[in-house]
Amino acid sequence: MAAIRMDGNALRDEVVAGLAQRIEELGSPDICLATLLVGDDGPSQRYVNSKHKKAAEAGMVSRHESLPASATQAEVETVVRSLALDDSVHGILVQLPLPDGLDPEPVLDLIPAEKDVDGLTERSMGRLVRGRPGLVSCTPLGVMRLLEKYDVPISGRRAVVVGRSTLVGLPLSLLLNRKGTDATVTMAHSRTADMAGVVREADIVIAAAGQARMITADMVKPGAAVIDVGVSRTEAGIVGDVDFEPVAEVAGWITPMPGGTGPMTIASLLENTLTAAALQGVVTLT
């Protein structure tokens, strides 16, 4: 029996519509998402444009700052510092990666935790580790929303996260493992012995290593949920970390790539922006 296809596009649109309704019920306050793009990378430009399009659909105000690839570290930091100090801006997203020669860490350090809608700063990660209220990385949050939407059992189940990045692997492991969610989590990586054997034991597989089609059908436990976060650009187009068609014949649930976790990253960004406005006292959420 083929796996249930977890449609990230449909869920994104559902989340955006829900946000629009909530914002209207709150009196349509001007909740502002600001983005910064350095350079002229085509995929990054398209991704930022899609974020602003969906922000408008959610009833949010969006603001975009752009700098040339030749911008200095000081110029980038000046823009972020200005956004951080602007009370009309409630969420700040710096589109990564930055061009060669620019260090993202000092840039991210300038973003206040309550405006860190990408959930990337040390303070946001620290809040996640400590279980305190805060903003969570968008892709991991989107994965959790997909698991919830499709009623994938998590509590007491074994989850394997392939990839240990601070962007996806680490925060997702924390989200799956925390009290109330209660998965038993293994984080696998390039040095993991018997990767196939480790993955085969999982009820939930999160593939976030960035290696095209590395998760094959023989590595997947029948009926497991397989979430593909990896993105590789090939001559055939965008492919994920999961060998989709064969794995779909074994898994119980599966996300396509594209059309799975990517759209939910944008939905979670907008969800975070509303949460950020609440953290700043602009709105009260119930």
Task: Give me the amino acid identity at 231.
Answer: V
Tell me which residues are annotated as active site. Answer: 51, 95, 118
3-state secondary structure (DSSP) of residue 100: coil
CA-closest candidate to residue 3, choices 243, 183, 164: 243
CA 187 to chain centre: 18
Give the neighbor-by-neighbor strand order of the sheet with 4-5.
Answer: 4-5, 253-254, 225-228, 204-207, 158-162, 184-188
Q: 20-28 long-range contacts, Cβ below 8 Å, gap at least 24? A: 20/57, 20/58, 20/59, 22/274, 22/285, 23/58, 23/59, 23/60, 23/274, 24/59, 26/283, 26/284, 28/59
Rounded Cα–Cα distance for residues 89 and 62 (Å) = 9
DSSP result, 125-138: HHHHHHT-S----H
